Amino acid sequence: MRTTEVCHSLIIAVAAIALAAGTATAAKGSRDAAIERCIAEAQAAAPDIPGSGSQTRRTAVYKGCMSQAGYRP
């Protein structure tokens, strides 16, 4: 009986690790999607015109977008 209990515990531990890895991968994918979306939004809001201060505006838009998405910029 003891061997069976150890095997069950091992199976549960492996399943928990696999689930955690899958969740981390999904979270990474959604963060990557938010980054791409926020970069596009920032570039559209403040096109790159030299000397216009657009970089400051673009940074603010990007940070706001990431915060709204629930991620740190």
C-alpha–C-alpha distance, residues 73 and 38, integer Å:
10
* 48, 50, 53, 59: CA torsion to nearest 10: 30
Q: What confidence score (pLDDT) does residue 27 get?
A: 60
Structure tokens belonging to residue 11: 């199976």
Structure confidence by residue, pLDDT tens digits, 17-53: 655 555 545 566 899 999 999 999 999 998 877 777 7
Does the pLDDT of residue 69 top 70, yes or no?
yes
pTM for this model (two decimals): 0.58
Residue at token pair 């928990």: 16
